[in-house]
Amino acid sequence: MAEVIDGKKVAGDVLGKVKALTADLGAKGITPGLAVVIVGEDPASQVYVASKSRTAKECGFHSVQHTLPAETGQDELLKLIAELNADPAIHGILVQLPLPPQIDAGTVIQAIAPEKDVDGFHFINVGKLGTGELATAFVPCTPAGSMLLIERVRGKDLSGLNAVVIGRSNIVGKPMANLLLAANCTVTVAHSRTRDLPALARTADILVAAVGRPEMVRGDWVKPGATVIDVGINRIPAPEKGEGKTRLVGDVAYAEAERAAGAITPVPGGVGPMTIAMLMANTVTSAFLATGLERPSF
Ligand code: GUN
Kindly report, residue by residue over 39-50, the tens digit of the pLDDT.
999 999 999 999
Question: Residue 215 is which amino acid?
Answer: E
* Average pLDDT for 102-113: 98
* Average pLDDT for 193-217: 98
The protein residue with its alpha carbon nearest to ligand 1, atom 1, reads 97
Check whether 6 has a pLDDT greater than 90. yes
The Cα–Cα gap between 97 and 80 comes to: 16
Check whether 158 has a pLDDT greater than 90. yes
Burial of 156 (0-12, 13-18, 19+ CB in 10 A): exposed
Check whether 111 has a pLDDT greater than 90. yes
Asked if 24 is an active-site residue, the reply is no
Q: Which domains are seen in the chain, by residue range?
A: 28-114 (3.40.50.10860), 141-273 (3.40.50.720)
Residue 28 pLDDT grade (very low, low, confident, very high; cuts 50, 70, 90): very high
Sign of CA dihedral 289, 105, 249, 229: negative
pLDDT digits (tens, 9 = 90+) for 244-294: 999 999 999 999 999 999 999 999 999 999 999 999 999 999 999 999 999
What's the mean pLDDT when you consider all of the chain? Answer: 98
Check whether 1 has a pLDDT greater than 90. no
Sign of CA dihedral 109, 231, 59, 139: negative
State which of 34, 36, 48, 142 you would mutate to test the pocket of ligand 1, scoring each by most atoms of that ligand within 8 A of its C-beta: 48
**SS3 state at 163:** strand
Q: How many CA atoms are closer than 13 Å to the CA of 98, on its beta-carbon side? A: 5
Asked if 42 is an active-site residue, the reply is no
Can you give the pLDDT at residue 248?
96
* Average pLDDT for 42-67: 96
What letter does residue 284 receive in the DSSP assignment? H
Check whether 177 has a pLDDT greater than 90. yes
Q: What pTM did the predictor assign? A: 0.97
Quickly list DSSP for 30-72. ---EEEEEEES--HHHHHHHHHHHHHHHHTT-EEEEEEE-TT-
* Average pLDDT for 126-151: 98
Can you give the pLDDT at residue 291?
98
Can you give the pLDDT at residue 285?
98
Can you give the pLDDT at residue 123?
98
Quickly list DSSP for 70-129. TT--HHHHHHHHHHHHH-TT--EEEE-SSPPTTS-HHHHHHHS-GGG-TT--SHHHHHHH
Q: Give, in order, the Cα–Cα distances in Å from 15 to each of 8, 58, 90.
A: 10, 9, 19
Q: Give, in order, the Cα–Cα distances in Å from 9 to each of 16, 141, 248, 270.
A: 10, 17, 20, 9
Query: 63 pairs with which residues across the strands?
Result: 34
Going from the Cα of 117 to the center of ligand 1, the distance in angstroms, rounded, reads 12
Question: What percentage of the chain exceeds 90 in pLDDT?
Answer: 99
The Cα–Cα gap between 227 and 265 comes to: 9
What letter does residue 202 receive in the DSSP assignment? T
